[in-house]
Amino acid sequence: MFWAGRAVLGECPLWDSRTGTLYWVDFAAGTVFAQVSGVGHTVAIDVETQVSCVGLAEDPQVLIAGLRTGWHLLDLRTGARTFLADPEADRPDCRFNDGAVDPAGRFWTGSVEDSQARPVGRLYRLDGDGRYTTVDQGFRCSNGIDWSPDGRWMYFVDSGDRVIYRYAFDVESGAITDREVFVDTSSLQGVPDGLRLDAAGDIWCAFWGGANVTRFTPGGAVAEVVPVPVLRPSSIAFGGPGLSTMYITSASIDLAEDELAEWPLSGAVLSLAASTPGRPAVPFRVARLTHETQGWTGGLVVLVLSGWMRFCNGIVACSVGWAGGWGTMLWCGCRGG
């Protein structure tokens, strides 16, 4: 047991090897948690809206977060949030779900319709220059994302269809191709949720409602099923010394009283010894440029500010502010978001 609390919907565990800290979120409560291993003190940051996923940033005191209101930088010292972009702003019934940083430092995030009734979920890639791309779509419930140790493959869960997909992945460009069904999990116990690959390239997936985490070989065969003392494990991270501990988030949402009595650890963060260590998380990498520029290019305002580019069709207002480890930034409101 790492944390004995009861999250409503615990998700997205994330280990920072630089600080020995585990992060995770409670989606429903709008809370980001941080706990240094071995300390026992948990810091809770209220982000005032649903929070689906987090990723490391180059500054260890900053996370990139997928909120109901889009991508934000979250300053862990103050709780301040800096808006980046919201590709789902025109679809109020849709939101971000799981997300992860790829081997080159880009932040990938899937989306889902609240009802999960239609396959309208999208898969987005946020690049370090501030631009984002819809790289695939047509999912009922976008979920866990991770990459093979050699960077050749990207794995992606659609919980709604109970499928784990695999794409060919190009690290340099961030392009994905050749989507294929890696595993159809419909015959397995539970629904696939968050996943993580270990250093050997095996795929570990939490099975919501199945009370287990399952390890698949790179060929898609079930290699191991590990029972856990929660009905709804939601996601996985490797951390601790040597990345040899598996942290598992869980949920208590919609469980009846008799189910909570049977599964009293629901909502806790579990810790298990990992038979094979994991790999360190990669931080989101902002494009670094040599100078600041501001100008018009064919009617498009391009702002390059301390290495971060924002693209707007017009400027409403700008102000200068300090953004912690990100330096002095010029924040501008843009027409149309």
**Neighbour count for residue 328 (Cβ, 10 Å):** 11
Q: Which region holds residue 5: left if phi is over 0, alpha if psi is between -120 and 50, else beta?
A: beta
Query: Which residues are within 8 A (CB) of 90 and not within 5 positions of it... i.e. 6 or more apart?
Result: none
Residue 196 identity (one-letter amino acid): R
Q: Rounded CA gap, 63 and 311, in Å?
A: 22
How far is residue 322's CA from residue 303's CA, in Å, rounded to a whole number? 17
Residue 12's contacts (CB-CB under 8 Å, 6 or more residues apart) are 23, 24, 25, 52, 53, 54, 98, 99, 194, 235, 249
Is residue 193 part of the annotated active site? The answer reads yes
- Name the nearest CA neighbour of 193 among 164, 223, 229, 231: 164
Which residues sit opposite 234 in a β-bridge? none
**Among 67, 24, 16, which residue's Cα sits nearest to residue 43?**
24
Which residue is catalytic, options 146, 193, 202, 258?
193
What's at 315, amino acid-wise?
I
Catalytic residues: 193
